Amino acid sequence: MSATDRFERVPSLPRSTRDRQSLVLTLLAGSIALTMLTPMLWVVLEASQVPSDQILEILLRQETLDIFLNTVFLVTAVTIGSVLVGVPLAMLTVQTDLPFRRFWTVVAAMPLVIPSYIGAFAFISATGQGGAFTDVLAPIGIERIPEIDGLVGSAITLTLFTYPYVYLTTRASLLSLDGRAIEAARSLNHSRLSAFRRVTLPQLVPGIAAGALLVALYTLSDFGTPALMQYDVFTRMIYVEYDAWRLDYASIFSLLLVGMAIVILAAESRIERTDEGEAYVNRGTDRPGTISLGRWKGPALAFCSTVALLALIVPPAILLYWLGRSTGGIGGSYEFQWIYAWNSVYVSSLAAGVSVLAALPLAYLSARGESRWASLPERSSYVGYAVPGVVLGLGLLYFTLHYVDSLYYTVDILVFAYVVRFMPQAVGTLRSSVLQTDRKLVEAARTLGHSSLSAFRKVVLPLVMPGVIAGAALVFLTSMKEMAATLLLRYPGFETLATYIWLVRSSADYGDAALPALVLIGVSGLSMLVLLWRGYDVQE
Amino acid sequence: MSKNELTTTTGQYVQAPPRTAPTGDVVLELAEITKQFGGETAVEEISIDVHEGELLTLLGPSGCGKTTTLRMIAGLTDPTEGTIRLDGEKVAGSSTAVAPENRDVGLVFQEFALFPHLTVGENIAFGLTDDDGADEYGRVQEMLELVDLEGYEDRNPESLSGGERQRVALARSLAPEPDVLLLDEPFSNLDVRLRIEMRQEVRRILKEAGVTAISVTHDQEEALSISDRVAIMNDGQVEQIGRPEDVFGHPESRFVASFLGQASFLSGTVVEGGVDTALGLLDNDQLDGSIDAYRGAAVDVLVRPDDLRAKPCPPGGTDGEIVHRQYTGPAFVYQVEMDSGDVVHCQHNHATDFEHGTRVCVELQAEHSLAWYPAE
């Protein structure tokens, strides 16, 4: 403050000014959170218009029970499969003398790059009659590879492309383990195995469970994979019923699906709460000593290679095979056009921008708010995780059709759908960025004569910028891959990479889908770079 | 007034030697400040005047409310009751709450809180307003010179040592010429050797800048060595405030006596001419204030280890037994359990070596008057 400034004292602010500032922030965050909830409201409204006796009839039908059981089977199978693949990979890459450990560390996380429906598409196009494998293997006498579809096909595909969630969370837990605790256990006369069981494992369980729940949630809401594999789970059937314009069925199924998602989310939030506080304490601790694999080195390498081969080599190879054999499309409106790629980039960029703008107040309030309710808007924005794309699409379709005609079949509503669905990712990265900036820095800026707004602009914003960019990138990349809501909400003639793959899924020439699929793999490969850059510690 | 009544009942300060009153105008005035968090009272009716140019330290154990007091002065927390005046103007209290940025109060944080995305120079310039514009560069240079960091303006905070970070934090807070500078546990993030060096250095910088400063610490040695005045806080209240020599030599309460250094108490009875203790009669002139009015009362007299010596005695004529010995390098401190039941500490140079269990005589060798308290 200059000398003149010292004489021109600013009049005392009433105490309520500070309250008013936080009230504005709370209202802003609250209204954003409420907006996020609207699509769900419309599904509930639609369902409430179904007569109660019909609801009962739908619920009690054998078909509904079958769909429910199919969904449970698939979620269970994929979750177990992911733990069986993800946990050993994490242990091998963190705690053993596996050859080329750094290489496997990165490779094991890579399948996340491939959208699961593209994997499903690749496997379907390769197996069964007229599949790529049959073509390639025929000369060596293998006539027919059994078709991969249904429960087995969906479960294998989803496991191959979602196990990295378990791998990454388990790995993070392993890395945060305090090696000294294990040494302490051994100095207290526990064998290596007993120390693992009594010290390591209990600390790993939250990490494994967090990853497993992510996998369960992803599987539950995934539309593309079971749809392509023709396995009747809720997501697929909601779309089928909608297609047949049986909205009563579609809305009841939607509510059931959301109910299942909420159960999984509730379990997940309990786990997150227990280990959130410990996420930052792993500084300066000793790493547990590495375990020598000995004669298990061979089998361990074979295991890693098999997973990598199936998830990373085979699907792109199949796509490239079809691309090479492409006859130039089946002509007409189904031919691939680069405008589809541009459409994808366009709507995804808009979604990323809007998401970050909306996420910032939610994240800031949640991380810095003092009231008990401060994190409520942030928590409620997580509804996006609970609402599968197909339900979200249906809700918004109903909403625009009945209430806001002007939004029906527009890019705006599509962008809004992406924001609702994927903004939680931006909130997450932003929140942790805000938490990582020292609260004292803002106070320092205030005592140096800056208003809270100026302190935010000059201190907080530059420091959370990496989080803003990462959040935007994540929303962009996941929006690019989104299929179900895009299918429901796109206006006629507006195709994206994902919807184009859906359109040509059953065409005779798989080559049409190969190019957009490869483009999508390339694009989402960038998401891995973002994750790496954000220090999700895929390197050591 | 209540304070005076209290001292009258304990009798101790009725004729206490006059303390040198701080000179200069009152810059900061805390009047009956209370702060409650939920149902907990963190600070209770604190009143302190801080005078221009002085360095006042709030000293107390953790949880005593000293940091909360500091944050209320800075405007980062509002007092529940009471008023704070800065340069005569009310900045907090009854429907007033001047925002931190509108008070001319600087704050040096415990962890220094340097902005990691800015250079040293940009950090120091952060508090300068735009109208300083042309002179900004000059002011930064001036500050760097003051804290002995010339040529550091383009460095990143990460590349600095602990002591250098503290210098930058000081420079950053001093650059806008605050009316009052607050220092929150300024030395706790430094290692022991650096801490002692920086005490002198920080005092030099503050005095050279001529700023009025309030520091907060739980380290009594630090408080006594850097401050012009020390306010000892306990349980949300100020127990005593005064020059370091006065609070150490004449603590007004047992808490202050114990917190400022090793303290033992000799129990005794007030008799004609003094106090009768296990070490014999202590004369009136060996005691703080007038004690005559309390004839017959039981009192405890404060004796510090350097006031007492243990001596070999003939068997039968001893005062007590050595029950513990602590060797600190330059000195021995012996704990003596007196036959009267009192436990006292005697400090000796490192050459005087008594075995554990030796019976000794204890002798008072104080050249100053002793504080005393009504027996508990």
3-state secondary structure A310-350: HHHHHHHHHHHHHHHHCCCCCCHHHCCCHHHHHHHHHHHHH
Written as one string, the DSSP assignment of B210-246 is T-EEEEEES-HHHHHHH-SEEEEEETTEEEEEE-HHH
Supply the angle between the helices A461-481 and A338-368 in degrees, to the nearest 10. Answer: 140
Cβ <8 Å between B99 and A4 = no
What are the tokens at B151?
């040529």
Structure confidence at residue B16 as a pLDDT band (50, 70, 90)? very low
Cβ atoms A343, A350 nearer than 8 A: no
* Higher pLDDT, residue A292 or A111: A111
Question: Is 80 exceeded by the pLDDT of residue A219?
Answer: yes
| Record: contact A1-B117, CB cut-off 8 A | no
Give B181-199 pLDDT, tens digit per residue. 999 988 888 888 888 888 9
Angstroms from A374 CA to nearest CA on chain B: 18
Nearest to A470 by CA among A430, A436, A437, A520: A430
Summary mean pLDDT of chain A: 80
Which residues in chain A have their CB less than 8 angstroms from residue B189's CB? Answer: none
Residue at a domain's end among B199, B229, B259 = B259
Among B120, B110, B114, B112, smallest CA distance to B144 is for B120
**DSSP class per residue in A18-67:** HHHHHHHHHHHHHHHHHHHHHHHHHHHHHHHTS-HHHHHHHHHSHHHHHH
Same domain, B142 and B171: yes
User: Looking at the structure, do residues B242 and B270 belong to the same domain, yes or no?
Assistant: no
CATH number at residue B346: 2.40.50.140
Give pLDDT tens digits for A327-352. 554 544 467 788 888 999 999 999 99
Is A446's CB within 8 Å of B111's CB?
no
Rounded to an integer, the average pLDDT of A225-248 is: 89
Which residue's structure tokens are 């939610």?
Answer: A362
Tokens 């994190």 belong to which residue? Answer: A375
Mean pLDDT for the stretch of residues B68-85: 91
Is the same domain home to B278 and B245?
A: no
- The nearest CA of chain A is from the CA of B89 a distance in Å of 10
Residues B242 and B290 in one domain: no
Q: Do B106 and A445 touch (CB under 8 A)?
A: no
Domain CATH number, residue B94: 3.40.50.300
Identify the domain containing residue B233 by its residue range.
Answer: 2-259
- For residue B138, the chain A residues in CB contact (below 8 A) are none
CB neighbourhood size of A497 (10 A): 28
Please give the backbone phi and psi of residue A110, each rounded to the nearest 5 degrees, phi first.
-65, -30
pLDDT band at residue B111 using 50, 70 and 90 as cut-offs: confident
Answer whether residue B20 shows pLDDT above 50: no
Contacts of residue B103 in chain A, CB cutoff 8 Å? 447
- Higher per-residue pLDDT: B309 or A15: B309
- pTM score above 0.90: no
Percent of chain A whose pLDDT exceeds 90? 19
pLDDT band at A86 (very low <50, low <70, confident <90, very high): very high
Q: Please answer yes or no on whether B97 and A14 come within 8 Å at the CB atom.
A: yes
Report which DSSP code applies to A245: T
Residues B221 and B364 in one domain: no
Residues A166-204 pLDDT 10s:
998 888 888 877 766 776 777 777 777 777 777 778 888
**Higher per-residue confidence, A523 vs B239:** B239
Instruction: Name the residue among A365, A378, A373, A535 with its Cα closest to residue A456.
Output: A365
Beta partners for B271?
B274
Closest Cβ–Cβ partner in A4, A6, A459 for B115: A459
Interface A:B, Cβ pairs < 8 A = 103
Measured distance CA(B212)–CA(B222) in Å, rounded: 18
Is the pLDDT score of B19 beyond 70? no
**Alpha carbons A167 and A207: distance in angstroms, whole number:** 9
B321 and B347 assigned to the same domain? yes
- Enumerate residues 6+ apart whose C-beta is below 8 A from A205: none
pLDDT for A272 equals 53
Contact status, residue B132 vs residue B85, Cβ threshold 8 Å: no
- Cβ neighbours of residue B369 under 8 Å, at least 6 residues apart? B250, B285, B286, B287, B288
Q: How far apart are CA A334 and CA A345, in angstroms?
A: 20
Residues B271 and B253 both lie in one domain: no
Q: Do B13 and B59 belong to one domain?
A: yes
- What residues contact residue B6 under an 8 Å CB cut-off, 6+ apart? none
Q: Which of A12, A441, A451 sits opposite B101 (nearest CB)?
A: A451
- b/e per residue, B169-192, with b = 16+ CB within 10 A? bbbbbbbbbbbbbbbbbbbebbee
- For B270-315, what is each residue's pLDDT tens digit? 888 888 888 888 888 888 877 777 888 888 899 888 888 888 887 7
Average pLDDT over residues A276-304: 66
pLDDT band at A19 (very low <50, low <70, confident <90, very high): low
The minimum CA-CA distance between B320 and chain A, rounded to whole Å, is 45
pLDDT band at B12 (very low <50, low <70, confident <90, very high): very low
**Which residue, of B259, B277, B301, is where some domain finishes?**
B259
* Domains present along chain A, CATH in parentheses: 22-39+70-278+299-533 (1.10.3720.10)
Residue B299: both structure tokens together: 């009192």
A contact test, residue of B126, B158, B177, B181 with most A CBs within 10 A: B126
Contacts of B111 in chain A (CB under 8 A): 438, 440
Which of B78, B91, B132 faces A15 most closely, judged by CB atoms?
Answer: B78
Q: Do A458 and B177 touch (CB under 8 A)?
A: no
pLDDT band at B120 (very low <50, low <70, confident <90, very high): very high
Considering only residues A325 and A289, tell me which one the structure prediction assigns the higher pLDDT. Answer: A325
Nearest to A15 among B91, B95, B103 (CB): B95
Name the residue in chain A with its Cα closest to that of B172.
A448
Instruction: Look up the ipTM and state it.
Output: 0.73
> Burial level of B161, CB count in 10 A (0-12/13-18/19+)?
exposed
Q: Do A10 and B117 touch (CB under 8 A)?
A: no
Q: Rounded distance, CA A66 to CA B142, Å?
A: 79
Per-residue buried b or exposed e for A437-471, using 16+ beta carbons within 10 Å of the residue's own CB = bbebbbbbbbbbbbebeebbebbbeebbeebbbbb
- pLDDT above 70 (res B96): yes
Q: Nearest residue on chain A to B139, judged by CA atoms?
A: A2
Closest CA to A93 of A164, A159, A165, A171: A171
Phi, psi of B23 (to 5 degrees): -100, 175
* Structure tokens given for A291: 């375990």
pLDDT of residue B279: 83
Closest chain B C-alpha to A3 CA, distance in angstroms: 8
Give the confidence band of A142 by pLDDT, cuts at 50, 70, 90: low
pLDDT tens readout for residues A24-74: 777 777 787 777 778 888 788 888 888 888 888 888 888 899 999 999 999
Q: Which residues of A touch B131 (CB under 8 A)?
A: 2, 4-5
Does residue A390 contact residue A223 with C-beta atoms inside 8 Å? Answer: yes
Residues of A with CB under 8 A from a CB of B: 1-6, 9-10, 12-15, 17-18, 438, 440-441, 443-452, 454-455, 458-459, 462-463
Q: Which residues of A fall within a CB distance of 8 Å from B177?
A: 1, 3, 6
Nearest Cβ partner for A445 among B75, B106, B126: B126
| Those residues with Cβ within 8 angstroms of residue A30's Cβ, 6 or more apart along the chain or in another chain | A376, A377
Closest CB to B98 among A13, A443, A450 = A13
Tell me if A447 and B126 make a contact (CB, 8 A cut-off): no
Decide: residue B51, CB within 10 A, 0-12 exposed, 13-18 middle, 19+ buried.
Answer: middle
Report the phi/psi class of residue A237: left, alpha or beta, with left for phi > 0 and alpha for psi in -120 to 50.
alpha
Domains of chain B: total: 2
Identity of residue A367: A
Which pLDDT value is given to residue A31?
80
What pLDDT is recorded for position B1? 36
In this structure, are B331 and B231 located in the same domain?
A: no
State residue A108 phi and psi, 5-degree precision: -65, -25
Task: Let me know the angle formed at the C-alpha of A370 by A364 and A374, rounded to the nearest 5 degrees.
Answer: 55
pLDDT band for position B39 (cuts 50, 70, 90): confident
Please state whether beta strands B55-59 and B229-234 pair in parallel, antiparallel, or not at all (unpaired): parallel
Contact B120, B155 (CB under 8 A): yes
Answer whether B100 sits within 8 Å of A446, measured CB to CB: yes
φ and ψ at residue B232, rounded to 5 degrees: -90, 125
What are the chain A neighbours of B99 within 8 Å (beta carbons)? 13, 17-18, 446, 451-452
Helix axes A150-176, A101-109, angle to 10 degrees: 130
Q: Give dist(CA B81, CA B70) in Å, integer.
A: 15
Q: Which residue has the tokens 């206006």?
A: A491
Does pLDDT of A162 surpass 90? yes
* Residues of chain A neighbouring B119 (CB-CB closer than 8 A): none
pLDDT in tens, A405-442: 777 778 898 999 999 888 888 888 888 888 888 888 88
| Pick from B192, B43, B180: nearest CA to B104 | B180
Q: Which of B95, B101, B129 sits opposite A446 (nearest CB)?
A: B101
**In a shared domain, residues B269 and B252:** no
**What pLDDT score was predicted for residue A20?**
64
On whether both B224 and B290 belong to a single domain, the answer is no
Which residues make Cβ contacts (< 8 Å) with residue B47, sequence separation at least 6?
B30, B31, B32, B33, B238
Summarised one tens digit per residue, pLDDT across range B137-183 is: 888 999 999 999 999 989 998 899 888 999 999 999 999 889 999 99
Same domain, B254 and B367: no
Distance CA A540, CA A537 (A): 6
Long-range CB pairs of B289-294 (<8 Å, 24+ gap) are: B289/B11, B289/B12, B289/B13, B289/B14, B289/B15, B289/B16, B290/B11, B290/B14, B290/B15, B291/B11, B291/B372, B293/B11, B294/B11, B294/B270
Could you give the angle at which helices A247-276 and A234-243 cross, rounded to 10 degrees? 150
Q: Are strands B359-364 and B308-312 parallel, antiparallel or unpaired?
A: antiparallel
Answer yes or no: is pLDDT of B4 > 50.
no
The CA distance from B231 to the nearest CA of chain A, in Å, is 24
pLDDT in tens, B223-268: 999 999 999 999 999 999 999 998 998 898 889 998 988 888 888 8
Residue A318 CA to residue A119 CA, distance in Å, equals 10
For residue A325, is pLDDT > 80? no
CA distance to partner chain A, nearest, from residue B115 (Å): 7
d(CA A443, CA A439): 7
Residues B305-360: pLDDT tens digits?
A: 888 888 888 777 778 888 988 888 888 899 998 888 888 998 888 777 888 888 88
Instruction: Tell me the residue type at B95.
Output: S
Residues in chain A: 540
Pairwise CA distance, residues A124 & A322, whole Å: 12
- The residues, ordered by sequence, that sit 6+ positions from B208 with a Cβ below 8 Å of its Cβ are B146
B317: nearest Cα among B364, B267, B266, B360:
B360
Q: Strand order in B274-277's β-sheet?
A: B280-283, B274-277, B264-271, B298-303, B372-374
Contact B101 A443 (CB under 8 A): no
Last residue of a domain, one of B231, B259, B287: B259
Tell me whether residues B99 and A5 touch, CB distance under 8 A.
no
Residues of B in contact with A9 (CB under 8 A): 89, 102
